[in-house]
């Protein structure tokens, strides 16, 4: 069977590094390879490169550079936010949404083991937190809330401004995992009612192995990694200067794309074209919120034309045989026999929760590839339905 050139449609799992990112990292490895804590010229060069990267990222996020703490990625950043904040608070209640990333869930379970009460905020069929629960969930003893901004599996965007404003009124700290939002809309973080935001680099064509926690230096956070007192004493360990340079280059590329497109993700119209093509096919149901949604993201549950749920992992394999790299859900929680916990939390039956498919687009796709995308994806889906149905 002839296969067209492969298309990578799994941006929410990881993105291929951009050429400018690789060039920035090579330059940093060549000219700023020393330990940035060393008190000599080589160390000063590394420290300068690290801080220039921090300033570039912070400027894109519209926060002072002192608010930015480098981490190894989104998982560490979310653990740092929750465990670091909780270490400076009396024990109380932590509230997380029912559709959080596994990293947030893991940090929440650690706090539960330490004596914190854990409350799960229900979501509706579209994956949005039920705001009818807002006031009661913020009542004492709640001290900390974590609700992700953009859900990686179904694409739903949460109303973090509403949630954050309510947390401020209640005197409750608010954390949001913004990993999937970064690079897909302009961010004015200092104006948001959010105390802790977490990001990672490898979703926006930056290097894997670096992320960031954004929090005011005035916010009491316990150090989560001891050692040499790096990162303003919050995270010990020699900083990854080249990774920071790559992160800065990646975020600058995303800002340029947004500016050139008038502040909107230029992938959104292409995603919409693909959505129109797939919605017309039998056995396809779009999941997540149709309006408040990540602009490069599309998610579905699939059945045969007769209504039989199709196993997501087999669908992914069938798509790859036809040159399309897609996902059956969050990469960090794939392979669960009971189906997607996110879809189950949204009210889908276990059989249907195992039939999810996610397609997420990125700027590496050429205009000709984007033009052919609806036809190629539709043809692949029809073929897989015929094989598995």
What does the H/E/C string look like for 130-164?
A: CHHHHHHHCCCCEEEEECCCECCCCCEECCHHHHH
Is residue 311, in this structure, part of any structural domain at all? yes
- Residues ≥6 apart with Cβ < 8 Å to 355: 301, 302, 303, 309, 310, 311, 312, 315, 339
3-class secondary-structure state, position 297: strand
2, 22, 14, 101: which is closest to 325 by C-alpha? 14
- Secondary structure letter of residue 10 according to DSSP: B
Ranges of residues in the chain whose predicted pLDDT is under 50: 1-2, 330-335
Count CB neighbours of 263 within 10 A: 9
Instruction: Check if the beta carbon of residue 298 is closer than 8 Å to that of residue 360.
Output: yes
Q: What is the radius of gyration, based on Cα positions, of the chain?
A: 21
Residue 317, domain extent: 7-16+264-388
Quick one: CA dihedral 197, 203, 206, 207, positive or negative?
A: positive
- What pLDDT is attached to residue 223? 86
DSSP single-letter state for residue 210: -
Closest CA to 5 of 388, 376, 382, 378: 376
pLDDT at residue number 2: 46
Number of domains in the chain: 1
3-state secondary structure of 327: strand
- Chain mean pLDDT for the chain: 94
| Residue 237: inside a domain | no
Q: Is residue 258 part of a domain?
A: no
- Please report the pLDDT score of residue 3 as a whole number: 56
Would 294 be classed as within a structural domain?
A: yes
First to last CA, the chain: 20
Name the one residue in this structure whose structure tokens are 């498919």: 357
* Catalytic member of 12, 71, 167, 332: 332
- Domain-located, residue 95: no
Supply 64's token pair. 């002072």
Distance in angstroms (rounded) separating the CA atoms of residues 56 and 61: 9
CA of 40: how far to CAs of 44, 82, 151, 167, 243, in Å?
6, 36, 45, 46, 22
Which CATH number is 279's domain given?
Answer: 3.90.1150.10
Domain assignment present for residue 309? The answer is yes
> What pLDDT does residue 338 have?
67
Phi, psi for 213 (deg, rounded to 5): -105, 130
**How much is the pLDDT for 172?**
98
Q: Rounded to 10 degrees, what is the CA torsion of 333, 174, 194, 154? A: 30
Residue 285 inside a domain? The answer is yes
Task: From 132, 169, 148, select the one nearest 292 (Cα to Cα).
Answer: 148
Helices 367-388 and 268-279: crossing angle, nearest 10°? Answer: 30
Among positive and negative, which fits the CA dihedral 87, 91, 97, 98?
Answer: positive
What's 332's DSSP letter? G
Does residue 332 have an active-site annotation? yes
43 located within any domain = no
Q: Could you tell me whether strands 7-8 and 196-200 are parallel, antiparallel, or unpaired per DSSP bridges?
A: unpaired
Q: Provide φ and ψ at 224, rounded to 5°.
A: -100, -15
The count of other CB atoms within 10 Å of the CB of residue 262 is 7
Residue 52 burial (CB count, 10 A) = 15
* Cβ atoms of 268 and 295 closer than 8 Å: yes
């Amino acid at each position: 069977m002839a296969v067209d050139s492969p298309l990578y449609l799994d941006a929410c799992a990881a993105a291929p590094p951009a050429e400018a990112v690789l060039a920035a990292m090579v330059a940093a490895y060549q000219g700023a390879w020393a330990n940035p804590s060393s008190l000599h010229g080589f160390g000063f060069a590394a420290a300068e490169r690290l801080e220039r990267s921090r300033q570039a990222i912070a400027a894109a996020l519209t926060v002072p550079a002192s608010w930015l703490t480098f981490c190894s990625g989104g998982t560490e950043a979310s653990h740092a936010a929750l465990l670091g904040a909780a270490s400076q608070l009396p024990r109380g209640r932590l509230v997380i949404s029912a559709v959080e990333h596994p990293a947030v869930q893991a940090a929440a379970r650690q706090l539960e083991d330490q004596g914190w009460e854990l409350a799960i905020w229900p979501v509706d069929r579209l994956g949005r937190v039920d705001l009818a629960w807002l006031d009661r969930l913020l009542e004492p003893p709640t001290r900390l809330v974590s609700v992700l901004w953009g859900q990686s599996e179904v694409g739903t965007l949460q109303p973090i401004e509403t949630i954050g404003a309510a947390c401020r009124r209640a005197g409750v700290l608010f954390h949001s995992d913004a990993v999937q939002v970064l690079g897909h809309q302009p961010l004015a973080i200092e104006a948001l009612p959010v105390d802790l935001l977490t990001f990672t680099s490898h979703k926006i064509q930056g290097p894997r192995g670096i992320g960031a926690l954004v929090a005011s230096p005035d916010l009491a956070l316990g150090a989560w990694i001891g050692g040499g007192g790096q990162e303003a004493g919050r995270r010990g360990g020699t900083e990854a200067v080249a990774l920071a340079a790559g992160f800065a280059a990646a975020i600058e590329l995303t800002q340029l794309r947004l500016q050139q497109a008038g502040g909107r993700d230029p992938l959104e119209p292409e995603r919409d074209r693909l959505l129109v093509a797939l919605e017309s096919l039998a056995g396809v149901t779009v999941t997540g919120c149709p309006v408040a949604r990540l602009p490069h993201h599309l998610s579905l549950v699939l059945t045969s034309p007769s209504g039989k749920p199709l196993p997501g992992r087999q669908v992914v394999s069938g798509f790859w045989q036809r040159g399309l790299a897609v996902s059956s859900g969050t990469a960090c929680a794939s392979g669960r026999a009971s189906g997607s916990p996110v879809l189950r939390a949204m009210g889908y039956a276990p059989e249907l929760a195992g039939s999810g498919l996610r397609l997420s687009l990125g700027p590496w796709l050429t205009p000709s590839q984007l033009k052919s995308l609806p036809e190629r994806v539709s043809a692949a889906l029809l073929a897989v339905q015929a094989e598995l149905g």
